[in-house]
Structures are given as C-alpha cells and as structure tokens.
Amino acid sequence: MSDFSEERGRPRQSGAPAERRRHPGPGVARKVPRDTGQGRERRTEKRAPGAPSLKDAVVDIDRDILRLLLKRHNLLERMRGGKPRLDPAEEKFLREAWQKAVARVSRDADLSGRFFALMQDAAFLPRPAAAESEGAAAQQPPAGAERREAFNLAPPHKPVEISLTAPLSCRETRAWLFLAAASGQPVQLTPCLMNDPLVDLIKALNQLGASVTREQDAVVGRPAEPMGRPDKVVYVGDSLWNLFLLLAFYVGRPSRVKFLGETELKLVDLSSTRRFLPQLGARFTHVIPRSSGLPARLECSGIVPGRADLPPDVPAALGAALLLAAPFFEREFTLGLSGHPGCDEVLAFALPLLRSAGIAVTEQDSAVTVQPGMPRLPQAPALPMDAGLAAFLLALAMPLGGEVRLTGAWPDGPEAAAARQILEALGLPLAAGPGALGVKLEAPRAAARLSTLPPAALAALPEGLAPLPLALAACATLAGATADAPEAALAALRCPPALAADFFAAAGLELVDGALRLSPELQRDAGKEFSAPVWNAPAPAWALALALAACARPERCHGFRLGNPGVLTAVYPGFWALYNSLPKPSPRKREEPEAAPPARGRRIRTSMAAVLPPEPEGDEW
C-alpha cells in the first residue's frame, strides 16, 4: 500500500441547507413584493457608470477576509507566547464564541466546525519585503522582512541518468516498527524514508514504553518490555495510519486514551470508525462538539468478539491495523472483508507481512483469522518500494529520455499493479531485473491520451496517485503532442475537474471539452518569455506532478513555480535535492569540508606606558 493511498475521510455534508433569508421575527411585518404582471423576470441590479462589478466587489471582500485572517493569526501567535499550541482553555473559549456567532446566521456544520479548525491552523508567509508589497517599490525593506520567492521548477532538458535505491514503503516500515514495539523484540530497518509520519510514530511508540531510535537512515528497535497501554494523551501527527495502528493496539485490553493530531486528522471524517468500534467493545468519542475528527477519546473494555465484519464505509487501513494488532488479543480473531472495496489491498498488504513475522494466519472467503501469540520477527525485514514515489521517479524518463534504475522490489497489490499498468500503457517500457526495476528510453516520448487507458486500471489507482496520469498528459501537451483528460477519466480517477483544471493552469495549459491545449499566454507572443503562476499543491502527489510537468516546459519558460514545496518534503525529504541535481543525481551525500580551527589570539607585549592625552582647557562639554 503506497503512502499516497493513505485513506482520508470525506468532509461531512451539512444535513440541512443554510438559510437564505432571515425571518423578521414576531411582531415585524414582512414586506411582500407586489405582483407587477411581468411574470418571473430576473431583476438586474442597476449600477452607476464606472461602478465596480459584483465579482470585483466579491474579490475585494475576499482580500479583506485574508487581511483579517492574517491579523487573527498574529494575535494567536502572541497568545501562544512561543508555545507550539494554544492553551486548551483559551482555544475552547474561542471555539465556543465562534460557534455561538455562527449559530445566529447559519446552520452549516462545516462553518461552525471545519472552518474554525482551518482558521486555527492556517499558516502564512513571512512578512514581505517592501519591493514586493503593493505600492512600496521605492521603500526600504522593513527590519526582519523576508522575500516571498516561490520554488522554481526548471530541470535541464537533458536525458536523465538515475541509479539509486528506491524510496521504500514508509507504511510497511511503520507496520514492522509497531510489531517490534508491541512484542518488545529487536528489529533494524534500513534504509528508511525518514519522513514526518515515521518520526511521529517513533515518538508515539516511545511514549508508550518502546525503545526505538534513529541512526542516520536506519531505525533500530532495541529489546525491551512490550509496550503498554497507559491512560495518557498520545500524539499521532497527521497520519491516519499512525492513528489506526495505535487505536487497534488499545482495543485488545481494558484501557482508555486520548488521541491528538494535526490539521488533516482534525478535519477527517471518522464517523464510520466511531460507529464500527462498539462491535469491538470500544467507544470512540470526539472531544470537540459537532466534530468528526481528532481530538478524540477511546475507551476499551478489552472484550473483543471472535469475529467482526468490516463495513464498506470504514477505511481499509483500519482493517489492516486490526489484523496487525490481532496477535496481541487474548483469543483468536477473525475479520470479515467480504464486500469491502479495499479487500484485495488489505489482503495483499497484511497477509505476507503477518506470515513473515511468524504469525499463524489463515484466509478463507475474504475472512482472515489470526491466532494469538508472540510473533517471531526477522532481524532485518525486507521492505518493498513505495509504489507512488517510485512511479513518479520512473516517469522522469518520459519527458526527458534517458535511463532510470531503482533498486528494490516492486510491491504486490492491486494499487501497485494499476500504477505499473498505467505507466506501461502510456509508453514507458518497464524492465524488471534482479532486485531492481528500470526503464530506458533513447528519446523522450510524448503520448498520453487518458481516453485510451483501461477504465479498470484508472479506477484501481489510489486516489492519491491520480496526479500521475494527469502529469504525463501535461508533459505530452507541452511537448507538442496530442493529449486528453476526458470527464470519464477524471471520474474514474476520483479527481475533481476543478482541481485538474487548476493543475493544468499551473503548467501553462487549459482543459477544454476534455482536450488539453496550451494556454493563451503560451500560444500568443511566441517570442516572449512565459511566467507561470505560483501554485500551492494540495497534496504531495500534486507537487510531484508539477515537478514532472516542468521537465517538458517550453524553452522560453524559466520554470513552473511551486509555492509550498514543504508539502512534499514532509513525505519524501530527499526529493528536491535529487530533482535539483538532474540529469545525473548522486545518491551519496555531499561531504562538508572540515571547519578551520579558530585562530589563536595574539598578545603583544611592550614596555611603553600608556599616556592619556591632556584634557582641553576651557568650558566643559
């Protein structure tokens, strides 16, 4: 299971539509328009000549809202006083005041809950320099000001020569760490993709009593007592897989815990998980009223039934986590996956891992039975590639040509198979060697008609990997070939058309009736340089997609600009160093020169005595 396939909840839809009119209240006469006999003609607002249009007025209001949000952010920083989080009592006061104010004007639960969470965690750029602020080109930059420069994506148009160890699956790395910490056995995993989700899980496991440390690109679990289930607050970061691993671990014994997370887990919809857990003798309650995400409390009786069927609306990641935690239950546990859309992916991920750990497990009719007992972990488990990250690295050969060779094993499962099938269907000949997977092209290839791809492969591709075929379609269009992205393909990829249009616009393209073509800015004034707009990627895979499209950008375009490169650094920390060193990145780290020893101070000895100059005569000054 790729990290890009990590399931996220859907925003909860409001049960009742927002009121469009205010009731005047009792005792107030409502003015009813008189029937003029003109039927239901649409009334147009009369504006004075030169007055701003309604859309311009809305744009001005949006700018005012942003200014207020920035002012609110600065006040919150002062309230925190250098601490990472706001005091719980103060945050509760602000939330209740916001919900009370919203209740007067709207019944929308998203406005009272999700919007407040977004305001609390919104991040802003540093204060701009004067030359970049409006109407301040001639002023000097204020003290402490920083330039707001976007990350320019402009790799050289040369054939690539990439040969390195593929980024390994962070999800499977965390699964092995969980088994090692729960059993207290030693394990060593290397090389690891040392990203934020892995670091957050290491901290959480150590908080529960494990002994896990990081050593350069390796994670080492030392022999220790099996981690316990203390009644405490556990921070799981921004990863749903981290939450489900620890949640499944707590379910097997009488316990209670409170989970905290970052913005993504605050906004995730865990309603289906809350409804399912009572079947396992547990109760999951949200701390914030009318919220569907974290923070949340988990209370477990420890009485787990012998069998439970995973409902179709429950994330498949929770089913995989329950199977990994089942050996530590008191008795045999069977999880039924029949009818679940992620059944094949859970079986392909969990069964080989459990058997490699020496756990007795059987599968029959999409029902997995796990026997209780202590696992026997290998000293250094083999980790497969991360299918999502590896697919983007292999795709670099499409717009640039050359050779890409990744050392590692391609993972099993329908999602990884779908990613490989799409790459091969778009003209990328993948060749598997002993312990490696590679591709070699004599020249760039520009052919990416998504309408010709098998719909089943598009549907099997995880939602997080939807940008991959769209990026290849953008590369083909920028190279002068014909490409398309019809509505049927976007629907199979579960990609909103508006999001696809935003991505193509960031790459200097536009989507018209399913066909891709150069934007008007690129079509006209062929001799002039094209400056791409700054784009904020909504997810790591979208940042990779724009980086891939930048490999085929026109010569007169300095590069595509990404406003938030950190969204990818949190998942794949080494990608930008690799990308900036194309066409031939080096896997070795650059050796830093040794610092020169500090110069010793010299003491000058002299026999001359210091004589102060005579004070001037006259008035004092």
Residue 161 in any domain: the answer is no
Residue 522 in any domain: the answer is yes
pLDDT > 90 in the chain, percent: 68
Distances in Å between the alpha carbon of 601 and those of 73, 296, 598, 621? 48, 60, 9, 38
The CATH number of the domain holding residue 362 is: 3.65.10.10
pLDDT at 37: 45
pLDDT at 269: 94
Distances in Å between the alpha carbon of 583 and those of 157, 162, 346, 561? 8, 7, 37, 20
Structure tokens at 470: 């769209």
Sheet holding 361-364, edge to edge: 307-309, 333-336, 367-370, 361-364
Total domains, the chain: 3
Residues 366-378: pLDDT tens digits? Answer: 999 999 999 999 9
Same-domain pairing of 251 and 346: yes
Residues 547-559: pLDDT tens digits? Answer: 999 999 988 788 8
Q: In angstroms, rounded to a whole number, what is the distance separating the alpha carbons of residues 45 and 55?
A: 13
Same-domain pairing of 392 and 364: no
pLDDT at 598: 56
Same-domain pairing of 461 and 532: yes
pLDDT at 114: 85
Residue 142 in any domain: the answer is no
Residue 527, beta-bridge partner list: none
- Cβ atoms of 271 and 323 within 8 Å: the answer is no
Q: pTM for the whole thing?
A: 0.84
Structure tokens at 483: 């490409």
Number of H helices, E strands in the chain: 22, 22
Q: In angstroms, rounded to a whole number, what is the distance separating the alpha carbons of residues 129 and 133?
A: 7
Same-domain pairing of 182 and 294: yes
Pairing of strands 151-153, 560-562: antiparallel
Same-domain pairing of 398 and 267: no
Same-domain pairing of 357 and 241: yes
Window from 104-108, 279-283, 385-389 with minimum mean pLDDT? 104-108
Same-domain pairing of 181 and 244: yes
Residues 8-43: pLDDT tens digits? Answer: 444 444 444 444 444 444 444 444 444 444 444 444
Q: What is the mean pLDDT of the chain?
A: 86
Helix (H) or strand (E) holding 351: helix 343-356
Residue 281 in any domain: the answer is yes
Same-domain pairing of 264 and 289: yes
Closest Cα partner for 551 from 360, 347, 401?
A: 401
- Cβ atoms of 520 and 528 within 8 Å: the answer is no
What is the residue range of 434's domain? 387-580
